[in-house]
Structure 1
Amino acid sequence: MTALAKGRIAPQSGTAFEVKKGQLLKITDPFGEQVCDLMCYRLQDTEEWLSSGRTLDYAGSWLIRQGHVLYSNRSNPMFTILKDTCGRHDFLLTPCSLEMFHKLYHHQGHHPSCHENLYTHLQPWGIGPDRIFTTFNIFMNVQLQPDGKLTVEPPMSKAGDWILLRAEMDLIVGLTACSAGQSNNGRFKPIDWELLEPEQQALRL
């Protein structure tokens, strides 16, 4: 199997690139317990973007995993999850932002964030800060408590866990290695990604 492109996202940073329809995107947690935020847009029209609400509606589940489809705000499939060795991801919470670190962590001054890392790397396609919506938070472990509260627990991903997605349209994709300590069990680690040829043999990973 040939990788068209691959890279390692340094801790608390991000990247963005184009993915063609039918290509496969593999995202790996090389050391375990590290979240990767994913946001995407239709390449030909960035007013069509990844929608948490549509995806949860059509899945009938707040847990999105192998076999599920990630839908756009226009109800079109964007990605299909073909393989998933972790099985625990979040599609409820927005990406960490500087404002979030001020409000929830009481951090003073600048702090790296997924929000900033996404819009910084998506700027070449004309995507600004206000167009970063709820991300698909790969390997993030959000739990619903009986009293209705949401809690963020350490990721369940182990070293080497991965998820494989097939693009269902031409896309612009932004990825991060999450910058929020609570989401990553207090440590910041890299995320690996590979863009793979859409060959049948690729499904036999």
Structure 2
Amino acid sequence: MSANGHSHHIPPRSGAAFELKAGEELIVIDPEGGQVADLLAVSLADIREMLSSGRTLDYAERIYLTTGDKLYSNRSNVMLEIVEDTVGRHDFLLTPCSEATFRLCYDNEPPHQGCHGNLAAALAPWGVTDDAIPVAFNCFMNVPVDGETGRFKVLPPLSKAGDHITFRAEMDLVIGLTACSAPASNGGSFKPIHYRIVPKDEGGTASDG
């Protein structure tokens, strides 16, 4: 259940999971532009240790994370570090879209299990259960927040075709990754997400070859 070398394709409105070893780099690529990818990291050694939005934002003291920022677990261990980012706007506030999202927020959209369901299905072989899925790091998601009222909007991503964000693993992980299913998050259309794993000490490149 590992994936290395060439670029891997996640079809629109679906998800994948794979192992990422400490020191390896994960490059998440938006091949067509304007598409969100929900990313969840789980410790390979103990699946109860997962990516934590609350602890990460607390330690960063800001909500927009980019190159140089670290992503922490619920046990305050560094799981990932962002080592390259061509977009600079991602979301770590909003929970993965789910069946309930489509039922409560989209009057005219057919039901869909969303990123929550896709993450749960992809991570199930490692023993991660549906109820354990926390807030994911939403690569390329554009959620501006009003500084006075605290109200936020979900706007189309700023990412263009070929934009990417690169993470370095600081521990052995299981990664869940989706091509987001929510219309508002992706400007009303659904596109694929690509990813590459770069072995330790080889250095990263976002080439989609």
1:147, CA displacement in angstroms? 2.3
SS at match of 2:95: coil
The match for 1:188 is 190
- Residue correspondence of structure 1 range 112-151 to structure 2 within 5 A: 112-145=113-146, 146-151=148-153
1:112, CA displacement in angstroms? 4.0
> Whole-Å Cα distance in 1 between the matches of residues 128 and 54 of structure 2?
20
Where structure 1 has 5 or more consecutive residues not aligned to the other structure, the ranges are none
> Whole-Å Cα distance in 1 between the matches of residues 95 and 182 of structure 2?
12
**RMSD of the TM alignment (CA)?**
1.6
1:204, CA displacement in angstroms? 10
What is the percentage of aligned positions where both structures have the same residue? 50
> Whole-Å Cα distance in 2 between the matches of residues 33 and 108 of structure 1?
20
1:179, CA displacement in angstroms? 0.2
Amino acid at match of 2:190: F
The match for 1:72 is 73
> Whole-Å Cα distance in 1 between the matches of residues 110 and 31 of structure 2?
30
Checking the alignment, whether the CA contact within 8 Å between 1:12 and 1:112 is kept in structure 2 is no
Amino acid at match of 1:54: R
- Residue correspondence of structure 1 range 86-97 to structure 2 within 5 A: 86-97=87-98
The match for 2:157 is 155
Checking the alignment, whether the CA contact within 8 Å between 2:164 and 2:206 is kept in structure 1 is no
The match for 2:37 is 36
- Aligned residue pairs, count: 203
1:5–1:44 Cα change, 3 Å: farther
> Whole-Å Cα distance in 2 between the matches of residues 202 and 16 of structure 1?
20
> Whole-Å Cα distance in 2 between the matches of residues 107 and 41 of structure 1?
34
User: Per-residue CA shift, 1:40-99, capped at 9, x if unaligned?
Assistant: 110010110000011001111111111100000000000000000000000000000000
Where structure 2 has 5 or more consecutive residues not aligned to the other structure, the ranges are none
Checking the alignment, whether the CA contact within 8 Å between 1:5 and 1:196 is kept in structure 2 is no
1:64–1:78 Cα change, 3 Å: same
Of Structure 1 and Structure 2, the greater strand share is in 1
1:204–1:139 Cα change, 3 Å: closer
1:5, CA displacement in angstroms? 5.3
Checking the alignment, whether the CA contact within 8 Å between 2:103 and 2:111 is kept in structure 1 is no
TM, length-normalised to structure 1: 0.94
Amino acid at match of 1:183: S
1:199, CA displacement in angstroms? 1.7
In the alignment, structure 1 residue 179 sits paired with structure 2 residue 181: yes
The match for 2:59 is 58
> Whole-Å Cα distance in 2 between the matches of residues 108 and 163 of structure 1?
30
TM, length-normalised to structure 2: 0.93
